[in-house]
Amino acid sequence: MIIGAGTRNRNGGNIIKPALTLHKKDMDAHGVKTVKDIVGKMRNPGPGMTRFDVKTVSDKDAKEIVSSVRGEPREERHSPVDVEGRSVHVIR
């Protein structure tokens, strides 16, 4: 789960562009299918979205965020990641 991710709601929805959710079917429909694809969207998102470069979110943290988005198993500890002055929590 990512807390504090801007236009996303708790269920992976997008309050600005409802068709662009974090749900697998929607991501697949928009060509976002692999870890590399998701990290690519984090690094170079569309207009109006926050860009998270490697200095802002490390590759390791980006991959953990991807694991969370994909619903993969993770450890039961929380680690806040500072992203442009906002605290984003990644469950590892």
pLDDT band at 2 (very low <50, low <70, confident <90, very high): very low
Is residue 81 within 8 A of residue 88, CB to CB? The reply is yes
Collapsing DSSP to helix, strand or coil, 12 comes out as coil
Bigger pLDDT: 88 vs 56: 56
Per-residue pLDDT reduced to its tens digit, 26-74: 888 988 888 899 899 889 988 878 899 999 999 999 988 888 777 776 5
pLDDT, residue 55, reads 92
Is pTM beyond 0.75 here?
A: no
- Report all structural domains of the chain as residue ranges with CATH numbers, in order of start: 2-91 (1.10.760.10)
